[in-house]
Amino acid sequence: MTTPELRTRLPHVGTTVFTQMSQLAVEHGAVNLGQGFPDFGCDPRLVGLVDEAMRAGHNQYPPMTGVPALREAIAAKIAALYGRRYDAAAEITVTSGASQAIQSAILCSVHPGDEVIVIEPAYDCYLPAIALAGGVPVPVAMHVGERGYSVPWNRVGAAVTPRTRMIIVNSPHNPTGSILRAADLEQLAAIVAGTDILILSDEVYEHMVFDGEQHASVARHPVLAERAFVVSSFGKTYHVTGWKVGYVAAPAAMSVEFRKVHQYNVFTVNTPMQHGIAGYMADPAPYLELPAFYQKKRDLFRAGLAGSRFELLPADGTYFQCVRYSAISDLPEAEFAKWLTREAKVAAIPVSAFYSRPTESGIVRFCFAKKDETLLAALESLQRL
């Protein structure tokens, strides 16, 4: 007997670059600054609250939209930080991580032939989700100069057609570490004014904005918020990426359609973890203190590279640092990342992996969400190049 041939739904998708580089790091005993996850633990109090929830019997299905206490806590946090009050019952949905939130938002709103503007470099889950929905991605490349990456809003506006259904924005931005500011939101609002274009705003690094800047959440902008799915992630905020718990905030009518997909995609999300996170959110200090926590790591890493042959690009948010390496090598980005892993024993991610078409900028991305000793070990190797 032979296995029937399966016609792929994602012909251009293979193993992710994150998996490839992490595997290469293991093979060569390299410090892994590639994949974006911490190598340190979360607050033991958060684990204790989840344990309490399990022991209290919160181990069966929760409501499909999420545990009410958690949805209330999310709505209160957004109101306090960004000034928009979402209805916890009708406009907040707890998801199985941000990736599921992003995929469900696209699947519920993008129909075959609809165009989705994707600003590149872009996180790698956007394009497969568009493809599964039958949509047509329309890439618009960010501008990269001496001051780092920025969104060319004139080119975003020029990419809009009558078939444009959605624009995806991401701030703080993975992989570049750039952020949107209030002026960016105004330009985005001008582009979508008078249209039915939706916004998908990926804000999973919302609490990692540095140097006294405020996170410019789409939820802050009344016009944009009325047409936006705003996505965030407790995995990023609380150092528990393996828990895969996130959420989406959206107007009630949009949430109705989102939940239609969500209920048949995952139905619902881990019950005791939702209860534990809800209890933990009663104290805002962990997320309010996060910018200072990660800025200290960013500054340590940047100071260590300042005397090296790497050229540092601005890192205004996230826990990523992009660098140019032209003074070290003329290899293409993917080959340089592999060479760096094998020879310097430090893994990085080529920024070219975040484009839909081959694009070489001579830039790689490091993750500094690591213990200080991990960063110092990596810096010792990188300084010798």
Q: Read off the pLDDT of residues 197-236 as tens digits, 9 standing for 90 and up.
A: 999 999 999 999 999 999 999 999 999 999 999 999 999 9
Structural domains of the chain, ranges and CATH numbers in brackets: 17-42+288-382 (3.90.1150.10), 45-283 (3.40.640.10)
Given a cut of 90, is residue 369 above it in pLDDT? yes
Please state, for a pLDDT cut of 90, what percent of the chain lies above it.
91
Which three-class secondary structure state does DSSP give residue 9?
coil
118 beta partners:
139, 168
Specify the pLDDT at position 304: 97
Least confident of 125-134, 142-151, 372-381: 142-151
Cα(373)–Cα(380) distance, rounded to whole angstroms?
11
- Give the CB-side neighbour count of residue 327, counting CA atoms within 13 A: 12
Contact indicator for 244, 97 with CB cutoff of 8 Å: yes
Specify the pLDDT at position 348: 96
Specify the pLDDT at position 52: 98
pTM of the model: 0.96
Specify the pLDDT at position 13: 82
Measured at the CA of 44, the angle between CA 39 and CA 48, to 5 degrees, comes to 135
Q: What's the whole-number average pLDDT of the chain?
A: 96
Helix 290-305 vs helix 372-382: angle between axes, to the nearest 10 degrees?
Answer: 20
CA 135 to each of CA 100, 132, 160, 382: distance values in angstroms, whole numbers, following the listed order: 17, 8, 14, 42
Assign 192 a pLDDT band (cuts: 50, 70, 90).
Answer: very high
Assign 29 a pLDDT band (cuts: 50, 70, 90).
Answer: very high
Assign 11 a pLDDT band (cuts: 50, 70, 90).
Answer: confident
Q: Which helix (H) or strand (E) holds 168?
A: strand 164-170
pLDDT digits (tens, 9 = 90+) for 302-323: 999 998 999 999 999 999 999 9
Closest by Cα among 288, 300, 255 to 93? 255
**Strands across the sheet with 115-120, in order?**
92-95, 246-249, 228-233, 198-202, 164-170, 115-120, 136-141
Specify the pLDDT at position 16: 78
Structure tokens at 67: 């545990």
pLDDT digits (tens, 9 = 90+) for 32-54: 999 888 999 999 999 999 999 99
pLDDT digits (tens, 9 = 90+) for 265-304: 999 999 999 999 999 999 999 999 999 999 999 999 999 9
Average pLDDT over residues 92-104: 98
Cα(51)–Cα(300) distance, rounded to whole angstroms?
35
Given a cut of 80, is residue 14 above it in pLDDT? no
Cα(89)–Cα(68) distance, rounded to whole angstroms?
7
Closest by Cα among 124, 150, 131 to 16? 124
Contact indicator for 120, 140 with CB cutoff of 8 Å: yes
**Residue 24 or residue 130, greater confidence:** 130
CA 227 to each of CA 91, 178, 194, 255: distance values in angstroms, whole numbers, following the listed order: 12, 23, 12, 11
Assign 18 a pLDDT band (cuts: 50, 70, 90).
Answer: confident
Q: Tokens 């019952």 — which residue?
A: 89
Residue type, 82: Y
- DSSP category for residue 288: H
Specify the pLDDT at position 145: 84
Given a cut of 90, is residue 19 above it in pLDDT? no
